[in-house]
Amino acid sequence: MGGSGSRLSKELLVEYQDLTFLTKQEILLAHRWFCELLPQEHRSVEESLQARVSLEQILSLPELKRLIALHRAAVKIAMQSAWPSACNTANPFKERICRVFSTSPTRDSLSFEDFLDLLSVFSDTATPDIKSHYAFRIFDFDDDGTLNREDLSQLVNCLTGEGEDTRLSASEMKQLIDNILEESDIDRDGTINLSEFQHVISRSPDFASSFKIVL
Amino acid sequence: MLRQWSVQASGEPEPEPAGEELWEQEMERRCSSQEPVRLLPYAMVDKRFIRQLREPEGVKTSCWQQWRHRQQTAGRRLGEAARRLARGCGLWEGALYEIGGLFGTGIQSYFTFLRFLLLLNLLTLLLTTSFVLLPLTWLRPPDRGPALNFTLQCPGGHQPQTGVPKFNNLLWNVLTGRAFNNTYLFYGAYRAGPESSSVYSIRLAYLLSPLACLLLCFCGILRRMVKGLPQKMFLGQDYRSPLSAKVFSSWDFCIQGQEAATIKKHEISNEFKVELEEGRHLLMVQHQTRAQRACHLLTYLRVNILIGLLVVGAISAIFWATKYSQDNKEESLFLLLQYLPPGVIALVNFLGPLLFVFLVQLENYPPNTEVNLTLIWCVVLKLASLGMFSFSLGQTLLCFGRNKTSCESYGYNACDYQCWENSVGEELYKLSIFNFLLTVAFTFLVSLPRRLLVERFSGRFWAWLDREEFLLPKNVLDIVEGQTVTWMGLFYCPLLPLLNSIFVFLTFYIKKYTLLRNSRASPRPFRASSSIFFFQLVLILGLLLAAVPLGYVVSSIRSSWDCGLFTNYSAPWQVVPELVALRLPPPSQRILHYLGSHAFSFPLLILLSLVLTVCVSQSQASARAIRGLRKQLVWQVQEKWHLVDDLSRLMSEPGSGDSLGPASPHSRGSRPRSFCPGFPCPGSPGPRASRPEPSLEDPNGLRGVRVPARSCRFPSGSEL
């Protein structure tokens, strides 16, 4: 925690502030967090920027509940929970989130900059445009650029959970997906593309407040 | 990447696949656009890359550009800070976050609403203090002149009470407000010299500050309401939130913890099932015969008329209770009678919703209709009870609809009340205190024991009883009632916002305690956006309910002869014409006269109607255009399908298919390709400039890459 060698340089901080929606304290805290996951000898600044953390390590982080004293209590509480809530076991989209934001060839590990991107998109000040863009990518389970029926049914299954009483029956699922496509598929090609998705989302004022992690 | 760009620079045309051409166009577009890099939906490496393309390192940015960049950053930071300030200075951020994480944004919006109300009250207080109280204490106007020495002609010869209570207990005096009779809490203690002799008109400030506060609150609430307005119904679809928007925005990413997630999944599942059932019900209704529809309508009317009768009964009970309490002010059951009206109001608002729920459930409506109907009637009951309360007060004090000689001669019931504004202020003060005490009592005397008992004993009864459910609409209505009472009392009891701020502040912690310890989650989810809209709507209704009596009193009712600021005026509003005549030069007076006359308001009305007509016709034209464009879009896609079918037919004929391999971008696909606006991303055919990623090795190999029939990918960074 706050090791002597792991302080980000000023230029790097300014650059990150320029490229994301995060404030300086949030970036610093994210960096400290990230260093916690690395083995002790690799915690210098240069190595932390190059290192990658696997999905399993990230998922193990809910155990990390230590309070890190920082300037504002709100950021402290928010950031303390931000990491777990992005990728913890309670979030049904955890794998998709990690996959979307990862830049590694195998798409299963996050670097520090990927993590910053993640926090930036989920932050309060991110524009609805960018949030809806990433939401589309998260919901696109087969990564083909459109939401087809399989994507939608996987999405609904994630939302309702796997329990017997919460799962929707096959006919209900079909009715639901038919309704969704009827409302959002403007060009009637059987799939929802990015523009249609953004159009639907723009009519829902709920979206911005639910698609965020930090207050 | 560098190779491609150098190819372009050298002007050599190369046969590029269509994908690459698109990619370059996209890159050019991104580089030349002015939008900040952070707004681009790409990974960090790509954003850096684009930024480098825009401003290559070799080129020095001029001082002007650097200065502008700094200004923009500073402006952005200032905007963010101002937004945080407007949202409440970061008050209670941690608690709100915790609640949102455990219970979702629906219940969190209630607590955000509490914070908003606290802000409104503090602002009102600030306005009142700075315009009325501070000048009053500073200018120190002369004390009241000798008391008006005339005896009132009252039947029965009794004179108005001077306000000295029979019981001199301090606690009772505080609870009924008698202890503060001569303080600045109530109207009666304010004094001012004649208008012609003072520099600053306390009367004008006192008159205008409630009106200004109400206007500001109205604007603030309206702004918030518009933000939460579901923006769908205006395109001719039916009056329901689109299901697709619900599906896409239903997961609360703020939730942490496994149990909260499980509860949320249950909620979402229930919501979907309910929506689907509603849809089926709607379909069924559309296929009903006329007789069935008439029958349905009759049952609808029946339930509503029944509930309406109950509401009428309830508010007449309130009317009688208020009258009784006012008529028997000095009886032996003093305190009980003092608190009789608030007690009856609370009882009515407690039993009413239970009865409504029971009656509505008898009728077997679809779930959404049930909930909405109950909610509407609860709101009506709440506001009607407050309205009836103020009406019956008016009747007692100002003789509405009654013929009492004292009212006719003095303009108010002077024989019974020396200072009627103080009486009104006291009643509202009591109502406010009673509501708060009731909240506290309910939490600690009902919810807490219930939870303890349910935890301790296990049996069928206790399992059925379970912990209290945190009913969002009920809590919202309670807090809105408190705020409406505060607004009603702005003129009579100017420091009531201070009291209400303290109550709202304490209510936050009490409700948070109840929520976290004594309650369980409600099975019916309350969407945050419709909640925000609903809360603000009820608040606006409360504000209008408070503003109407205030306007009436200020413009037409005679103030007390003996106390307060407006003793010599026929109505408080008369101060304004007097001041206009005294202070303003004649041209301004003429202008103001004109603005207040009919000759101005009729043309204004006509102008506003014209503007409204233009707006409405414009929106109708836009709706028509949207319909036309949607049809065009569908036709275009169908045309694409036809072309693809034709092509595949042509290509399947023997002898023509070999030259075009499946690698061609024009290969037939089972579906037409859909290009999303973000396609292609800089990660797709193109190497990285700085990062040593494995994809750099073979930019050439990408040329022959098979652009997949299933189109748009979002490769980022080093995926290729």
Mean pLDDT, chain B, whole residue set: 77
Supply φ then ψ for residue A29, to 5 degrees: -65, -40
Over residues B514-527, the mean pLDDT reads 74
Query: Using CB atoms, which residue from B261, B532, B716 is nearest to A103?
Result: B716
Q: How many helices (H) and strands (E) does chain B have?
A: 25, 2
Cβ pair B542, B480 in contact under 8 A: yes
Question: Closest residue of B to A88, CA-based?
Answer: B256
Percent of chain A with pLDDT over 90: 4
More confident position, A35 or B436: B436
Half-sphere CA count of B474, side-chain side, radius 13 A: 15
- The pLDDT tens digits for B288-301 are 888 888 888 888 88
Alpha helices, DSSP H, located in B489-527 = 496-513
Chain B contact set for A78 (CB, 8 A)? 93, 97
Residue-by-residue DSSP string for B186-245: SGGG-----GGG-SS-HHHHHHHHHHHHHHHHHHHHHHHHHHT--TTGGGS--SS--HHH
pLDDT of residue B582: 85
CB contact under 8 A, A172 and B677: no
How long a stretch of residues is chain A? 215
Residues 6+ apart with CB under 8 A from B709: B667, B668, B669, B670, B671, B673
Give the separation between CA B165 and CA A49, rounded to whole angstroms: 77
* Whether residue B684 has pLDDT greater than 70: no
* Whether residue A73 has pLDDT greater than 50: no
The crossing angle, in degrees rounded to 10, of helices A194-202 and A170-184 is 90
H or E element, residue B648: helix B598-652
Fold of the domain spanning A128-210? Recoverin; domain 1 (1.10.238)
Give me the interface pTM, i.e. the ipTM: 0.78
Q: How confident is the model at residue B364 (pLDDT cuts 50, 70, 90)?
A: confident
CB contact under 8 A, B714 and A139: no
CB contact under 8 A, A77 and B97: yes
* Whether residue B252 has pLDDT greater than 80: no
Residues 6+ apart with CB under 8 A from B159: B151, B152, B415
H or E element, residue B520: strand B519-520
Give the separation between CA B379 and CA B381, rounded to whole angstroms: 5
Query: Using CB atoms, which residue from A137, A210, A213 is nearest to B249?
Result: A210
Question: Closest residue of A to B527, CA-based?
Answer: A206
| Spatial CA neighbour of B24 closest among B503, B167, B32, A123 | B32
CA separation (Å) from B56 to A102, A106, B50, B70?
Answer: 27, 31, 10, 19
* Whether residue A26 has pLDDT greater than 90: no
Residues 6+ apart with CB under 8 A from B262: A161
Q: Where are the domains of chain A?
A: 10-121, 128-210
H or E element, residue B605: helix B598-652
Task: Kindly report which listed range (A25-29, B59-63, B471-475, B577-581) carries the lowest average pLDDT score.
Answer: B59-63
Cβ pair B154, B406 in contact under 8 A: yes
Q: How confident is the model at residue B14 (pLDDT cuts 50, 70, 90)?
A: very low
pLDDT of residue B332: 57
Q: Does A35 touch chain B (CB under 8 A)?
A: no
- The pLDDT tens digits for B441-452 are 989 998 888 888
Full-model pTM:
0.76
Task: Kindly report which listed range (B180-194, B425-439, B516-530, B631-645) carries the lowest average pLDDT score.
Answer: B516-530
CB contact under 8 A, B230 and A137: no
Tokens 């008016």 correspond to B394
C-alpha torsion angle, residues B598, B602, B605, B607 (rounded to 10) = -130
Cis peptide preceding B572, ω within 30 of 0: no
Task: Kindly report which listed range (B305-314, B510-519, B624-633, B689-698) carries the lowest average pLDDT score.
Answer: B689-698
Beta-strand ranges (E) seen in A4-58 are 52-54
Q: How confident is the model at residue B381 (pLDDT cuts 50, 70, 90)?
A: very high
- Measured in angstroms, the CA of A4 and the nearest CA of chain B are apart by 26
pLDDT of residue B145: 54
Chain B contact set for A129 (CB, 8 A)? 39, 41
- The pLDDT tens digits for B313-322 are 999 999 888 8
More confident position, A37 or B432: B432
pLDDT of residue A42: 65
What residues pair up with B469 in beta bridges, in sequence order?
A: B520
Give the separation between CA B178 and CA B553, rounded to whole angstroms: 23
More confident position, B71 or B142: B71
- The pLDDT tens digits for B24-48 are 777 777 777 777 778 888 888 888 8
Instruction: Identify the CATH number of the domain defined by range A10-121.
Output: 1.10.238.10
* Whether residue B168 has pLDDT greater than 80: no
Residue B457, helix vs strand vs coil:
coil
* Whether residue B249 has pLDDT greater than 70: yes
Give the separation between CA B680 and CA B702, rounded to whole angstroms: 14
* Whether residue B391 has pLDDT greater than 60: yes
Q: Which of A121, A210, A214 to mutate to test the interface with B (most CBs of B within 10 A)?
A: A210
Task: Kindly report which listed range (A138-142, B27-31, B395-399) carries the lowest average pLDDT score.
Answer: B27-31
Q: Where are the domains of chain B?
A: 107-140+178-192+199-240+271-570
CA separation (Å) from B40 to A143, B10, B198, B679?
Answer: 19, 29, 62, 12
| Spatial CA neighbour of A15 closest among B682, B684, B1, B69 | B69
- The pLDDT tens digits for A188-208 are 888 898 888 888 888 777 787
Give the separation between CA B617 and CA B613, rounded to whole angstroms: 6
Task: Kindly report which listed range (B50-59, B206-215, B569-578, B594-603) carries the lowest average pLDDT score.
Answer: B50-59
- The pLDDT tens digits for B132-165 are 888 888 877 666 555 555 566 666 555 555 555 5
